[in-house]
Structure formats: structure tokens, C-alpha cells
Structure 1
Amino acid sequence: MRYLSFVHNGVSRYGCVVGGDSLCDLGRRTGLPDLKSHIATYFDSLGKEADLEADFHLAEVLLQPVMPNPEKVICVAVNYREGDYPSPDEPKYPVVFTRFANAQAGHEVPLIKPDVSDKFDYEGELAVIIGRSGHRIAETDALGHIAGYTCFNDGSVRDWQKHSSQFTPGKNFLQTAGFGPWMVSADEIPDPSGLDLSTRVNGELRQSTNTRRMMFSIPWLISYLSQFTKLEPGDVIVTGTPKGFGSSLQPPRFLQVGDVVEVEITGIGVLRNTVAAEMRI
């Protein structure tokens, strides 16, 4: 099942895709305010909803970030090896940072290029959405805490990211990351370790990998992160990017106004955002 958050006639709602191009407004049926509440309440039955009818067409709504109000967005830096096998110089632990909720944008919503930088970059990633709370989760139990998966473009302002050893400034400019288009429930992706991931800029392939090449697997990440924080329904874990992001190229190729960035993942779909100039009021 594909779940999403959207705005219709100025009202924030949530629902699921039915019939390929229509939406069922689940909030009308449950009385719950948002997708985070739905996941927490109906975790055990996600993907099993029945008797769903269309309320809106996808073309009628504005898609929000899949999870507009997460308690936590925890991100992992570069997390892919180039081949299928470990190398001796791989790190023991990942670099971890956080993003704020207002730094995200939904599918087909513009990404804002900050006017204080010309080093706006893309990072195609798989994002995991937590469905069952847990603290000190065993790696063997980790997949049982996942509600679903989605695409993420961890838009990064590289010069601000490198002002110090802490990534926070460069990862949290307003509306710089794409997050969507929807969450595919975990029952449709029982094993997330074999998904193809690609990123295109203006149709040109820039990143291409498979999640089996992660240095830190999704179960390992969930277990590791839950050692220091309690994971809650609606929390988002962004699992890292492969080579090919703009600042890693020679010469570097940063995003410009009008560029179209697409992140595609097997079994999920395509997240698409166009880069727009910052508008100051």
C-alpha cells in the first residue's frame, strides 16, 4: 500500500493511493489527524486496509513530505561501498546528523536554492519510516519496527555543511530536501537489502547503486540508533547516499535554478523536484 500526506483545498490530510491515480482520504474514515497517528494506531494492519474508495484524484492535491511532522529525522552520511564486498578501510561507525521537518519538501514541490550559496547539492537515498516504538532494539528484531520505505533527496548546501565538523547548517536550509512521493508499506518490501537506487539530474544519470552495497545495513542502523534514542512511530531514518553527488565529481557539478532532480528506487517509484530560486519577502 502507498500512503501519503497531502493538501486539498488548503487542508492537510493523509491517505493512500487507490486505483493507480486516485486517493482515499483515510483521515475521514479514522478521525485521526495525520499519517504519523495512523501508523502508530494501525501499525499491525498497514497494507491490509479494505473497502477503500477514491475521494480525490492525485492531480487535485499538493503532496507534502510523506511525514510532515516527524519527531526525528536521523540521517546517515555516505553509506555505500563501490563493490559488493567490504574493504579494510571502512569506518566502524557511521556519521550521523539530523534534519528539521521544515527542511523537507514533497514530490513535485520545488527545492529552494539558498541565495547565500552556489554549492547546492543532491543525494539520492532510501528513507525508512518507523512504525513501532523501540529502545535498544536488537538487530534481529529491527525490521519488525518498520512501517515502510520512501525516496529521499538529502539536499545539501556544501559550503555551510563544511563550516565545521558538524553538518547541521548545511543540511537544514528551508525546503532543500525532497521526501516522497509516498511511503510503501513494509509488507511490500520484506527485504530492503536488494533495491536499485538511482539519481538523475535533468535526465542524466548521476548516481546508481543497490542497497546491498550499504556498509551499515538497515537493521544495523535501527539497532545502533535506538541505543541512544527511543525510536517512535513516524521517525525517519535516511540511510545514506552512494558516489556521484555533485561535489564528488571532477569538476564539481552543483544544482542550478531550473534543474530537475529525480530519485528512483525499486518498488517505491520516483521522487521528482525542480530547483527554484529563493524568494525573500
Structure 2
Amino acid sequence: MKIQTANMSAFSGVKAGKKAMLGTLGVLAAGSAGIATALHMSVNAEEIDLHVPKFPWSHNGLFNSFDHASIRRGYQVYKEVCSACHSMKYLAFRNLVGVSHTEGEAKVLAEEYMVQDGPDETGEMFDRPGKLSDYFPKPYINDEAARASNEGALPPDLSYIALARHGNEDYIFSLLTGYCDPPAGVEVNDPLYYNPYFPGQAIGMAPALYNEIIEYEDGTPATLSQLAKDVATFLRWAAEPEHDQRKRMGLKALMILSMALGASYYIKRQKWSVLKSRKIAYRPPSH
């Protein structure tokens, strides 16, 4: 009896120790999470930090796709305005086919550029018209040339910029339309410009879009907000060209799974209803 009592006491001690250890770990985890949350909020909730507003983009719905007409206009904005400084080295002309342009139109766009290729049979490099498989040309030979032409600032590549910034296309639209005079007490040194949506509020890029800076091919009024909306839509599509296809595949998968679920429920009811509803009676053996 004494041995059994001692064993029970030791077992209780072990359980109490485990409880204390788990409680300590829980307190430490909760404290760490609280500190991390406080630090995150202190960084993101600065007095001078202006968060971008949320806009009702037509492609953000669960069953919605991109506005392909807006993508086409956005490409025109990029080509005529943004491509002078910003590259899109991960996007090829073939990506435009079936989305914003036909195959013939995309070929014409590619052939407007001369691409260095080679070597040829003599070992020399040569220039040729662009093809659908070619990627968008870069405005500068290298990063050093880009910095030298932009007061030391390196224009970022725009291939994935819509997903690389907090706020995605909301940030791009707000940035392009957010240039204004600095508030009282805020000074911006030349050659920087004040933009409340840019981190630090001082940006090296001059305002790129103005009303009627270009003329849309489809006759859409080229207001500042329309230009910013279209190029933001184009950059969002460029960062995720499979967006529409992914949603279509998801809908197909949901339809197939729903049909499979219905068939499984029917089979389950047909095969197992007899087994689940039968009555089992125990009869003791007769002597």
C-alpha cells in the first residue's frame, strides 16, 4: 500500500511539473506575440505614414476577371510614358497575345524594337527585329547607366511591382495620383518631390501622368485618374498573368468536387443505410 501511494505521488509530481512547464511556455509565447504585435503596430502606425485607401477593382472579386480593355490601355501608358525609365524584363511580347492584343498586333509591337542577337556564322553579333519570344527591352544598358540618368536613383523594374509593394495596385494608383505640395513645416530637397504615399514622403520620380498626356487608341478620355487606373491594372496583371486562368481552374475544381461529393453521399446512403439501421440482438446460448 505504501509503494502504491509513493508511485501515485511521483506521478502527480510529474504531471504538475509538466503543467508548470506548459504554463511557462504559454506565458512566454503570449508575451513574445504581444511584443511582436506592438513593434509591428509602432512601425506601421507612424504619425507621418499615410496608408493607401482601398479601391473597388473589378478583378478583386472571387469570380471576377481582369478588364482586358484596361490592360490594353495600361500597356499603352507603360509604353509611351513609363518605359522611358522603367524596365519590365520578365514580361515577353507573347504574354500579350490573347489578353490585350491579337497575335498579329503583338508581332507588330515586337518588331518595332531592334534586338541584339548572335553570334552569326562569322561569329559577329547582329541586330534583328523583335519577335514574340523576346522580352520587353530595357531603357538602359545596365544599372549604372540608369542611376547616372536619374540623379543616382535606380528606377525599379515593374514586372512584379504590383505584388512587391504593400497595397498592391491600390498603392500604385495612390502613388501616381498623390503628388501634391508638402504641408506646412515639411521641406523637400531638390530634386525630390513630395508624395504622402511614398515611404519617407520624398520621391525621386517626377509626376509622370497628367491629363491628356497621351491619346488612347479606343477614344477613352485620358484623365489622370483613368491613366493611373489603367496602368495599375496592367501592372497587376503583369505580376500575375495566370490570374484569370487560376480562377477558372478553381471554379472547375469546385464543380467537380461538388459532383463527387453528391455521388459519395448517395453511395454512402445506399450501401451503408442497411448496415447502420440493422438491429443486433444477443441471444445467450441455451443449456
Per residue, is there more strand in 1 or in 2? 1
> How does the TM-score come out when normalised to structure 2?
0.22
| Higher helix residue share | 2
The structure that has the greater radius of gyration is 2
Tell me the TM-score normalized by structure 1. Answer: 0.22
